[in-house]
Structure 1
Amino acid sequence: MKPIIVILAALQILQVSGQSLTQVLDDAIDQLNEESAINNLVAVTKSEQTKVILTNQGLNVTLKLNVQETNCAKETVGLFSDCALKSIDPITDTCTCMIKYENCVLNKVEITGCPGLLSPVGDVQQPLADSASNSNSTSGVASAGSSS
């Protein structure tokens, strides 16, 4: 019962602030497609609203998004929702997006995570801790590797 109350409260905050969850999601994916290092658009396969904060200045919403590459090139005119998910070797990733509104106007979208989308393909660096644990070096310097 408690999770349902939390979800209803979060949706009510979005409505009071003048934002719909669809608009918040669209703002996040538009920014993600703009910043991504791949040639195709991405679409959301799963979304989770993790935090909603109503402030005197506006609204902050944090989303966790699972995204997948589509078959539409970035130059495609139209919406990412009109694109089919790429079925052969798609790039997928999980991103955290913090969307900030002031006076019901989009102010900023911050995207974290998404190493497969925000870094040039083939140039994704592993976190230092992971690299160090896989390194045979005793110097304490970890080399960055690429992941597939």
Structure 2
Amino acid sequence: MNILQALYCNQYYELKPKGKEAAARVNGNRLLGIALAFNFILLVILTMLASPDFTDAFSDMVRDIFGRRQSRTVGKLIALIPFLIFLPLVQFTIGRQSTYDRLIARFELMPESNKKQISRKGLVYFITSMLGFVAAVVLSLIFLA
């Protein structure tokens, strides 16, 4: 089971005892889309830190699209783009109901110790993605400002 599937299993494992297993797929789609967007933004920021040419090209592209307005609104719009790309991408690929049902059927057949391990792996992936994103933003504020 891969790390992306583990995130769905984590949601199922956490919500099933509460009687909310029906919400696990939707939550999994959202969390996975957010984690992938965080990873993408992290990759862009790290590339900007490593390559001044990329930073200049990215800044020029933003200026071409938004003009000279360099406000918080522009930053929010730019940050929103990966989320608007990855959420539907996840929903219509790995997050489809049929794919999810097969995954959960496989997950249910596993021993309890494996279920805990897989659930933890999914949670660690999401938290690591979030912390990597925060670290990249902090680094960008320090080195790119």
TM range (shorter): under 0.3
What is the TM-score of this pair, normalised by structure 1? 0.27
Larger fraction in strand: 1
Higher relative contact order (CA 8 A, sep 6+): 2
Larger fraction in helix: 2
What is the TM-score of this pair, normalised by structure 2? 0.28
